[in-house]
Amino acid sequence: MVVSEIWTEKYRPQKFSEVAGQEEIVKRIEALTSSLNIPHLLFAGPAGTGKSTLALIVVRELFKENWKDNYLELNASDERGINIVREKVKSFARTKSLGEVPFKVIFLDEADALTPEAQQALRRTMENYSATCRFILSCNYSSKVIDPIQSRCAIFRFRLLEKKDIEKVIKKITEKEKVEITPEAFEILYEGSEGDCRRAINLLQSTCSITPKITPEIISTVISNAKPKDIRVVLDYALSGDFQKSRDKLLDVMLKESISGQDVIKAIQKEVWNLPVEPDIKVKLTEKTGETEFRIVEGSDPFIQLQSLLASFVLAGLGKN
């Protein structure tokens, strides 16, 4: 286990009441678990929102101390071919469970990475062994899971954690680890996490390896994102019509801070709506930003595309289409 995962495991919730930010889902799952008879479950949502954690809590609540004997976890992104379903999944599903609960549980993490053939085989396995096994599938995009599997599952959609939820988790960790974090530093930590609790914890742990007193400057160094004030300077130069200064400042930011083109695009997209221009121009600039991001993702040279984007800001500042 790498260092940045230690706190994530150490502070993983052990009870339903400890899961942050997914109260409605937790209530429904807890009610199903208390009946000792759950359907197949599909957890869909962004990374770091509690899908794997909730699956583990369900298993622990169902089987108590025997949970390891009745539980199989597979990461579908590592083993995603049809053989994994035919061999590991089927051989585990056909055996009887130990204890009072009449079924075992198989947790397939990142199920949207399974090949179409493997998903078809999984569909039949879910159907044939429903008496002795329940499946919990987690994925980032439920649309990548075939409809026959979705129709066999109760689907729960997880959302990104809000600021108050991540603050609750970070406060618990900082108190136990005797770490100081200023409100300003937490603001930057939350922005850097983008609602991903696991990322927030990993960023906190990485920062604490430098110093136990967390400041905005140290968090910014660890996150390595483009600073909003630097991007604002770049855009202000562009809107004033000074393309050369805007271009030079952008190059300076990207080289000195080692910021990727996609990170710069994200920072620009956030700053567009703070610019002193008309709303219809902001809409057009947002559209242009999205087009540039697509080109960078497709393999175009990031700096050339960003220069093109800055040219659009210059024209907007000069009042040209």
Q: What is the pLDDT of residues 23-78, one digit of tens each?
A: 999 999 999 998 888 899 999 999 889 999 999 999 999 998 889 888 988 876 66
Is the Cα dihedral 109, 112, 113, 118 positive or negative? Answer: positive
Q: Among 132, 130, 54, 65, which Cα is nearest to 97's?
A: 132
Q: What is the mean pLDDT of residues 135-146?
A: 92
Helix axes 216-223, 197-208, angle to 10 degrees: 110
Give 108 or 225, the one with higher predicted confidence. 108
Specify the pLDDT at position 229.
Answer: 79
Lowest mean pLDDT among 46-60, 141-155, 213-227: 213-227
pLDDT in tens, 254-312: 887 777 888 888 888 888 888 888 888 889 899 999 999 999 988 888 889 999 999 99
- Beta-carbon-side half-sphere exposure of residue 115 (alpha carbons within 13 Å): 11
Res. 161: pLDDT tops 80: yes
* Residue 83 near residue 52 (C-beta atoms within 8 A): no
What is the number of residues in the chain?
321
* Residue 128 near residue 157 (C-beta atoms within 8 A): no
* Residue 282 near residue 268 (C-beta atoms within 8 A): no
All domains of the chain, ordered by start, with CATH?
Answer: 22-157 (3.40.50.300), 163-223 (1.10.8.60), 228-317 (1.20.272.10)
Which of the 8 DSSP states describes residue 2? Answer: -
Specify the pLDDT at position 226.
Answer: 62
| Per-residue pLDDT band at 228 (split at 50, 70, 90) | confident
Q: Among 198, 196, 203, 204, which Cα is nearest to 161's?
A: 196
Res. 3: pLDDT tops 60: no
Specify the pLDDT at position 292.
Answer: 92
Specify the pLDDT at position 157.
Answer: 94
Q: d(Cα 55, Cα 38) in Å, to the nearest integer?
A: 12
Specify the pLDDT at position 55.
Answer: 93
Q: Please, what is the average pLDDT of the chain?
A: 86
Specify the pLDDT at position 43.
Answer: 95
Beta strand spans in 59-131 (E): 71-75, 104-109
Residues 125, 127, 132, 137, Cα dihedral to 10°: 70
Q: d(Cα 272, Cα 171) in Å, to the nearest integer?
A: 32
Res. 137: pLDDT tops 80: yes
Specify the pLDDT at position 221.
Answer: 76
Which of the 8 DSSP states describes residue 87? Answer: I
| Per-residue pLDDT band at 1 (split at 50, 70, 90) | very low
| Per-residue pLDDT band at 4 (split at 50, 70, 90) | low
Q: What is the mean pLDDT of residues 148-171?
A: 92
Chain centre distance of CA 27: 22
Q: d(Cα 246, Cα 225) in Å, to the nearest integer?
A: 19
Specify the pLDDT at position 53.
Answer: 93
- Residues of the chain above pLDDT 90, percent: 30
